[in-house]
Structure 1
């Protein structure tokens, strides 16, 4: 049972059935409808009959996962091997290596990309924070390219629909401050787990039924080495790239500071309803990010302008840190709305990832969604990605 009192059910063999009335089931999940589609596939709305709660079942491409892992030196086991995770949290997959190295050895010999990331998934399943979407279960069909992740559902959808071509209505200051604090708390928690999100943007900030912001979509996340904390591959959405990413052959970059920059772009979007940098092409966009300063409207709160300038500092060494963000006058409204302490925010850090956690990270299922996906695609033929009802972006 997880710390929220929900049973994490591990199923050795699952199947899809369809009743005479057309109800489709995946074990204890009743598939309701398609929420949306995107680059990673289809997102289904489902009812978990064990808990009588709605969930989102998200498809994820193993081919893309394989490519992503190939870019990590030695895969996740190479990153973790031989080090602790700090604060006495255990060595995660490295602990398995210390205990005979069975998991690492199996991953090294396996052709299945899922075996390379079982340790990562084991960590993600144990994350427990109010502002980080909860991953309940991961299902892998060895006969298909996709694996399927069962997440808590965020009924109110994305924080904001914004892009290079599309502006949005700015949020009221009080709501923007509330959501910004929640983003900071969630990202701080991830960073304390040595996880850089790498794709922070309004699309990946969803709002739950009770109005809580949840950080989602770890498709390009990096679990990095605490002692180094760097990445050398570009990832995420170009409009949210930091200047140091917009340079060819940029070498190793601070993963945390890349996230800090993207937090700044997100706050700019929330405050003004548009992106701070734009361009007629990717090269124009990169040049804008590298060399131009954002435009601020007349009468802007000087505290907000100061915060944005510190978040969007071109030199990463000049960028504001998470500890400084916590006490910034705009964030706390001059101390009237202080954030919970770092100790309180991170008290539910994962203390140990056992060999059992790694082994049970992914449930193998057979011929899971072959029929289900075909039916869904036929029913949604012609439906635009991200259309109304897309509560959990793919």
Structure 2
């Protein structure tokens, strides 16, 4: 049988597997235990945030992201904090990365690539209008929902270390070099909006060509190619697509095409549907303020819960004859020293019920990881009766309980078990055959 599992909880969220990891954060799958909704939990280390003097920027960008409800941007639901961590609760998107689609299927037809690019520009334009810049746009940060719609992840959250100086420009080179704009790599200061747009142009090229416009194993050579915008469009691209890509991948940010100009481009406008959604103006920012004031009264509870060891079908079948409350009293076997039964309630509830049944009978109860040690404080015929129990998970709401005599008189164990079985009648699972019999 498998060992007991440790389940981690952060407030009302049950935390699962790691689904992403970056320099400053780890992203884990989580589930809201109240609603059952799946979310992505972005976990930041407070010490790193303070060390890199990022707290104020993160607070500002999280506050802005809470107001953004664009259909092509991953939603930010709430933010929590413990003594050592900041937890950003995000929409969980199920369709995977756009990057995987390119890797598995190669380049796209223009109609499909255009639809994704239109959704990307919709998202980027909306966020820029609210002063939020991505700074690391690439296919790995573009997710697809269950309906195949594009969702930009990490908008405003991916480049925490960026700082705007007095000249109003960002000065830290970041992101993936192949997708970064020349002005970002040249460290001359750059405008977040035009730099994001360059990355969008590289993404469009990759969608249509199936490979990168700028690529070289030597980093300095790569930088030179990007700075000079040295690339060639493949022959299968339409003239409209080539023209638009050339206007976006303009190495001069001052003459680079703008989003309003893209929206008027003939190739871009084909089949274009602007995003339809309701803007959210009344988002509650109390949780953000509480996190960054670092008030202990608002700290979320972090817990590690041990789950019962699970049992597979083969193990269950091998024990199936024993899954009945009455099996301890089989006449041909005499009084058995151990037995098992199945119960249809949560494991924690089962532990409590066993404890509630044992204590009035004079038993001291010790619990650990769904194993219990029960000892009768009153000395019996063969010393103190000691009983061991362990709970195994068969299905989410079905558990098997093993009860055995560890020490003492078997007749006294039989008497104890009879009392225990009476207390657990309401939760014990019965087959159709056994439920029809009188106990």
Query: TM-score surpassing 0.5?
Result: yes
Cα distance, 1:349–1:23 mapped onto 2, change above 3 Å:
closer
Give the Å deviation of 1:27. Answer: 3.0
**Deviation digits for residues 164-204 of structure 1, max 9, x if unmatched?**
xx897112322211111111111111101011111111111
**Deviation digits for residues 256-303 of structure 1, max 9, x if unmatched?**
110110110111111112111112222121111012421211232000
Q: Supply the distance in 1 between the matched residues of 2:57 and 2:201 (Cα, whole angstroms).
A: 33
Cα distance, 1:63–1:286 mapped onto 2, change above 3 Å:
farther
Given that 2:141 and 2:152 are in contact with CA atoms closer than 8 Å, whether structure 1 keeps it comes out as: yes
Given that 2:41 and 2:89 are in contact with CA atoms closer than 8 Å, whether structure 1 keeps it comes out as: yes
**Deviation digits for residues 323-366 of structure 1, max 9, x if unmatched?**
01112111122xxx13428xx67x62647887x46524665335
**Deviation digits for residues 1-21 of structure 1, max 9, x if unmatched?**
xxxxxxxxxxxxxxxxxxx76
Of 126, 143, 168, which aligns to 1:206? 143
Q: Supply the distance in 2 between the matched residues of 1:285 and 1:162 (Cα, whole angstroms).
A: 25
Tell me the equivalent position of 1:348: 279
SS for the counterpart of 1:138 is strand
SS for the counterpart of 1:316 is coil
Of 261, 268, 272, which aligns to 1:338? 272
Cα distance, 1:184–1:228 mapped onto 2, change above 3 Å:
farther
Q: Supply the distance in 2 between the matched residues of 1:23 and 1:67 (Cα, whole angstroms).
A: 30
Cα distance, 1:234–1:34 mapped onto 2, change above 3 Å:
closer
Of 231, 243, 259, which aligns to 2:170? 231
Tell me the equivalent position of 1:156: 95
SS for the counterpart of 2:200 is helix
Given that 1:128 and 1:134 are in contact with CA atoms closer than 8 Å, whether structure 2 keeps it comes out as: yes
Please list, as runs of the form range in 1=range in 2, the aligned pairs for 1:266-281 lying within 5 A after superposition.
266-281=203-218
CA RMSD of aligned residues (A): 3.4
Cα distance, 1:238–1:371 mapped onto 2, change above 3 Å:
farther
Compute the TM-score of the two structures, normalised by the length of structure 1. Answer: 0.66
The gaps in structure 1 that reach 5 residues or longer are 1-19, 71-112, 373-394
Alignment pair present for 1:299 and 2:233: no
More strand by share: 2
Please list, as runs of the form range in 1=range in 2, the aligned pairs for 1:167-206 lying within 5 A after superposition.
169-206=106-143
Alignment pair present for 1:219 and 2:142: no
User: Which of 1 and 2 has higher RCO (CA within 8 Å, sep 6+)?
Assistant: 1
SS for the counterpart of 1:118 is helix
Alignment pair present for 1:136 and 2:77: yes
Tell me the equivalent position of 2:261: 324
Tell me the equivalent position of 2:18: 34
Cα distance, 1:253–1:172 mapped onto 2, change above 3 Å:
same
Compute the TM-score of the two structures, normalised by the length of structure 2. Answer: 0.60
Of 293, 311, 314, which aligns to 2:251? 314
Q: Supply the distance in 1 between the matched residues of 2:120 and 2:161 (Cα, whole angstroms).
A: 18
Cα distance, 1:155–1:69 mapped onto 2, change above 3 Å:
same
Q: Which has the larger radius of gyration?
A: 2
The gaps in structure 2 that reach 5 residues or longer are 293-297, 308-439
Q: Supply the distance in 2 between the matched residues of 1:286 and 1:162 (Cα, whole angstroms).
A: 27
Q: Supply the distance in 2 between the matched residues of 1:239 and 1:169 (Cα, whole angstroms).
A: 18
Cα distance, 1:312–1:67 mapped onto 2, change above 3 Å:
farther
Tell me the equivalent position of 1:125: 66
Cα distance, 1:65–1:311 mapped onto 2, change above 3 Å:
farther
Please list, as runs of the form range in 1=range in 2, the aligned pairs for 1:13-52 lying within 5 A after superposition.
22-52=6-36
Given that 1:140 and 1:364 are in contact with CA atoms closer than 8 Å, whether structure 2 keeps it comes out as: yes
SS for the counterpart of 1:289 is helix
